Amino acid sequence: RSVTSIQILLLNLVQDVYRSQGIYISDKHVEIIVRQITSKVKILKYTSETTFPVGEFIEFEQVQYVNRAFHLTKKPMIEYEPVLLGITKVSLLTESFISAASFQETTRILTQAAVEGKVEWLRGLKENVILGRLIPAGTGFKAFNSTSMLNVRLD
């Protein structure tokens, strides 16, 4: 089955449970959660063309982008499998270490970010709210686009 067909199946199953209890939720709300829990893939085979280790969870869109480039240059494609992750796991695997650290396992996430020398790009709503900055939406979007990256150091 395709990822899209799995997403539709999950949406319908969740909605069936809620509707059987007389609760009606707009599909768009459930779709956001379903999109998040199906957004990752697991790398199956190492290729020297990338830095993705076997077993790593990567954004599906990122793997598709790299594979399109590899296809054009006749390089071997990244082998992966779609995975269905729980909300907690997806939240901890976000690119933003500030967002992940605010959720669970704060010490582990911040320590890992410091050891790896990670840079926080401040692209999402949550990390900008945590740091008291304008969010990249609404009236803050123009200001967000004109600012440069904030390098958050964990020294």
Tell me the per-residue pLDDT of 26-45, one tens digit each, with 9 for 90 and over.
999 999 999 999 999 999 98
Average pLDDT for residues 17-21, to the nearest whole number?
Answer: 97
DSSP letters spanning 126-154: HHHHHTT---SSTTHHHHHHHSPPP----
How high is the pLDDT of residue 145?
60
pLDDT band at 154 (very low <50, low <70, confident <90, very high): low
Beta strands in 5-155 (DSSP E): 40-43, 57-59, 80-82
The count of C-alpha atoms lying within 13 angstroms of the C-alpha of 3, restricted to the half-sphere facing its C-beta, is 17
How high is the pLDDT of residue 106?
92
- Helix, strand counts (H, E) of the chain: 8, 3
| Whole-number Å distance between alpha carbons of 64 and 13 | 27
> Domain 94-155: which CATH class?
mainly alpha
Pair 65, 91: CB distance under 8 Å: no
pLDDT tens-digit series, residues 40-92? 999 998 888 888 899 999 999 999 999 999 999 999 999 999 999 998 888 88
pLDDT tens-digit series, residues 98-148? 999 988 889 999 999 999 999 998 888 889 899 888 888 877 676 656 555
| Whole-number Å distance between alpha carbons of 137 and 122 | 13
Average pLDDT for residues 11-24, to the nearest whole number?
Answer: 97
pLDDT of 152 > 60? The answer is: no
How high is the pLDDT of residue 46?
80
Question: What residues contact residue 49 under an 8 Å CB cut-off, 6+ apart?
Answer: 70, 75, 76
| Whole-number Å distance between alpha carbons of 9 and 4 | 9
User: How many CB atoms are closer than 10 A to CB 92?
Assistant: 18
